[in-house]
Amino acid sequence: MDAILNPYYVDIVIFWIIYILLGLGLNLITGYAGQVSLGHAAFFGIGAYSSAILTVTYGVNPWISMIVSIGITFVVSAVLGLPSLRVREDFLAITTLGLGLIVQSFFKNAAITGGAFGIDSIPAPSIFGIELKNAGYLILSTVVMLLAIYALKKMTGSRIGRAWRTIREDETMAQAMGIHTTYYKVLAFAIGGAYAGLAGSLFAHKVSFISAESFGFSVSATVLSMVVLGGLGSIRGTIFGVTLLYFLPEIFRIFEFDLIDPKYLDIYKMMLYGLLMVLVMRFKPKGLFGNFGIKRSQFRFFRKAKAKEGGHVA
C-alpha cells in the first residue's frame, strides 16, 4: 500500500489529524469549560518531548512511551492549570500565554530536551518488527482520531459535560448549584492537555526530529483560530474549522497560481487567517457552527407548535 499512496499527500492528512486532536483538546478547555487558553502549544510540546525522551534517551518502546506521554501531559496540564484558575477572561488568556512561553523557553534551554539542537532519531512505532510509516502511520492516526472524537462526544454528553457547560455560562450560578467548579475546570485543563499530548506524541514519532520552534505561540494562535472559526463547544465545528484553515494553504501549494509566490506562502496564510477571523467575528461571532444547537432546538419547537395546531410538518 505504501507504493500506492503518495507520501506527500499521506503526510498532509496525518498532520491534519494531529491538528484535529489539538483542536478537540482546546475546544474542550475553551469551548466547553469556557477557559480561554493561549498556551495550548505547551501541552503539544510536553507530549512530544515526553515521548521523544522516553524512546531516545531511555530506550522505552514507542507504544509505551506514547501512552505514558499522555499520562504525563494529563498531570502536568492539571498542575499548570491550577494557577490559571484564580483569574478569568483577559487575565486568564495572558496567564496561559505566559505559561506557554515559559514552557517553550524550558524546551530551548534544558539539557534533557536537547536545548536548541532538539532531539532527533525518534523511532516510529512498529508491529511484528515492521515500522509504521506512510500508510501504516495514517491508519494508526485515523484510528486514534476516531477514538478521540468518540471519547469527547461521550464526555461532553455526560454529567461532566453538562457541568462544564454550566460553568461556561455562569460560574457563580454553577457554584450555587453545588458544582465543584475548581475540580471541573482543572479536569478540563487536564483532559484538553492530554489530547494535545497525544497529538504531540504522534507528531514526534512521525517527524523523528523535534525542537522548541515547533511549539511556539504561532501554533497556539493557529489552533485557537481554527476552533473559534468552526464554533466553540462544537465537535463538528472544530473539525470543520481545522479542515478549512489547514487545507486552504495546501491548495495554494498543490495548485500553482501565477499570482502567488510559494516563497511567501506563510505570510499569505496568516493574512488569510486574519481576514477569515475578522469576517467570522463580524458576521458569525459564535463561529460557523456555534449556533447550530440553538437553531435545531428552535426547529424542534416549531415542529411541536405546528403539531399542536394540527398542521403537517415534514
Res. 297: pLDDT tops 90? no
Cα dihedral sign for 44, 189, 93, 243?
positive
Break the chain into its structural domains and give their ranges: 7-215
The region, left, alpha or beta by phi > 0 then psi within -120 to 50, assigned to residue 210 is beta
Half-sphere exposure of 291 (CA within 13 A, CB side): 10
The pLDDT tens digits for 110-159 are 888 888 888 998 999 988 878 888 888 999 999 999 999 999 999 988 88
CA–CA distances in Å: residue 249 to residues 170, 219, 244, 255:
38, 15, 9, 10
Q: What is the pLDDT of residue 179?
A: 85
Write the CB contacts of 11 (distance below 8 Å, at least 6 apart in sequence): 206
Percent of the chain clearing pLDDT 70 (strictly above): 84
Nearest CA-CA partner of 205 in 63, 1, 25, 68: 63
| For residue 314, pLDDT beyond 70 | no
Q: Which three cell numbers stand for residue 294?
A: 440553538
Q: Please state, rounded to an integer, the average pLDDT across all residues of the chain.
A: 82
Instruction: Give pLDDT tens digits for 173-217.
Output: 888 888 888 888 889 989 999 999 999 999 999 998 999 888 988
Q: What's the residue count for the chain?
A: 314
Residue 199 burial class via C-beta count within 10 angstroms: exposed 0-12, middle 13-18, buried 19 and up:
buried
Distance CA 230, CA 304 (A): 29
Yes or no: say if 140 and 13 are a contact pair by the CB < 8 Å rule: no
Please, how many CA atoms are within 13 Å of residue 258, restricted to the half-sphere of its CB?
A: 0
How distant is the alpha carbon of residue 133 from its chain centre? 23
- Rounded CA-CA distance 196/73 in Å is 8
